[in-house]
Amino acid sequence: MRRRPSPSLVVSIIALVFSLAGTSVAAINYARNAGAVDHKSATGATSSKARAAGKLVATAGAGPLKGEIPARFLQLSGLMRGSESTFHQSLPVNDNVGGAPVVIGGIPGLGSLTAACDDQNAKAGIENPEVRLAFANTSGQTLNIARSVGNAAPVIVGLATGTQDTFSIGGSNVFRDHVELNGSNYVVEGVVRQDGVNTADGTCQVYGYALGLPA
């Protein structure tokens, strides 16, 4: 003769079934959402904008944008595009000899800016530093250049490709050099200082910053 299970046993079995079912559902949900942040899944950097909509975007794992998020996923309107840089050079004077040019800046596709420290005094052992600045045009086209020293009116010229625009500053002063080609701009704000004037140990200090703004 069969005995029916007691009511307490039936309740225990039902509770066990529901608890196991709940664990299964939780496991499935966890597997589906593993790696999600704030309930949002991630998509790769090579995904289309439509596929990435509503998801997190991972940084690129390889290539030139490795470790970065591609710009197509970013809203950059209203932000200035471009680059900035600073420079500082302490250049010694060689007695009665022109200094070797040192690159202090530049922008790809337009050219480079160099500085040199020359001796203005022809007397042996007595140095008078002078800074010589030059922008070399490597763009393949004619550049527009506007440069100024101190409060003087700017010199505005067209610079043919393969040539350089050179100017010298004989005393401590500030300078500005603005280079432009087809809407791309390179602007330098700098300072020069001559130390050790009329001594045997003169130097030129050249420092400042530059902004590169692509078209």
Domain boundaries, the chain: 7-73, 83-213
- Cβ contact 192:205 at 8 Å: yes
pLDDT for position 138: 95
pTM of the full predicted structure? 0.62
Architecture per CATH, 83-213 = Sandwich (2.60)
Tokens of 151: 């409060």
84's CB contacts (< 8 A; 6+ apart) are 209, 210, 211, 212
pLDDT for position 86: 96
Q: Integer distance in angstroms from the first to the last C-alpha of the chain?
A: 94
Mean pLDDT by runs of 10 across the 215 residues of the chain is 58 51 49 58 78 79 69 52 89 87 93 93 86 96 97 96 95 96 96 90 94 89
pLDDT for position 31: 47
pLDDT for position 133: 97
Phi-psi region at 113: left, alpha or beta (left = phi > 0; alpha = psi -120 to 50)? beta
Cβ neighbours, 10 Å, residue 43: 17
Cβ neighbours, 10 Å, residue 205: 17
pLDDT for position 164: 96
User: In b/e form, how buried is each residue of 10-22, taking b as 16+ CB within 10 angstroms?
Assistant: eeeeeeeeeeeee
Beta bridge partners of 132: 116, 168
